[in-house]
Amino acid sequence: MTAELPENIEGLVQKPCRAEVENAYRTIIRYLGDDPSRAGLLETPARAVRALNEYFSGYEIDPGEILHKTFEEIDGYNEMVILRDIPFESHCEHHLAPIIGKAWIAYLPVKRVVGISKLARVVDAYAKRLQIQERMTAQIAKTIDMALRPAGVGVAIKATHHCMSSRGVKKHNTDLITRHMLGAFSNDDSIRSEFLSLVY
């Protein structure tokens, strides 16, 4: 499956092979001042590449396809559907540092719903890419809106950014909170308030 890439990428270069990436890690190890041929580091480049493939597996997933299968036998259900406390791990595109957090997703169904595990998979599909939290929040909301055509979508994310807590200003115990509202969640204060009362 073709990976969905950020909208601002133009003119992609050829993806390097695994051996090239392992060699790049050997260069990084030397840059840090250690010896990549040392016994303890000998297998580190290969392990690091395997870890990269796991951390950034979202590039190989089409988030919209995850929501392709829906269920229409909902007997007129039209109240808010909320999936809370969805854990995720991502990486900051500026420093490659971890972003650890939780997401909350809600939507107002119109004639169809989706399996709840699929909502968590959409979060992972976007989290397992180089990200900024603001964009990730909007991407999740827009994907659910396009796939389900609900009356509204609300997405909230709360996360700790290690680019801020482990380096730079080193401000521990800080969280970034982002929200993206579409449809009724954006223009109906009561619906927005109900959603926000159930998050964080």
Q: Tell me where in the chain the CATH 3.30.1130.10 domain(s) lie.
A: 63-196
Q: Which token pair is 189?
A: 């204060």
The reply to whether 68 belongs to the active site is no
User: Is 139 labeled as catalytic in the residue annotation?
Assistant: no
pLDDT tens per residue, range 74-113? 998 989 999 999 999 999 999 999 999 999 999 999 999 9
pLDDT score of 11 more than 70: no
95 catalytic? Reply is yes
- Among candidate residues 91, 133, 139, 180, the one labeled active-site is 133
> Do 186 and 150 touch, CB atoms closer than 8 A?
no
- Residue partners of 38: CB distance under 8 A and separation at least 6: none
| Averaged pLDDT score across all residues of the chain | 93
133 flagged as catalytic: yes
3-state secondary structure (DSSP) of residue 199: coil
For the domain made up of 63-196, give the CATH fold: GTP Cyclohydrolase I, domain 2 (3.30.1130)
pLDDT digits 0-9 by tens, 108-130? 999 999 999 999 999 999 999 99
1-55 adopts what CATH topology?
Answer: GTP Cyclohydrolase I; Chain A, domain 1 (1.10.286)
Which of 4, 131, 139, 161 is catalytic? The answer is 161
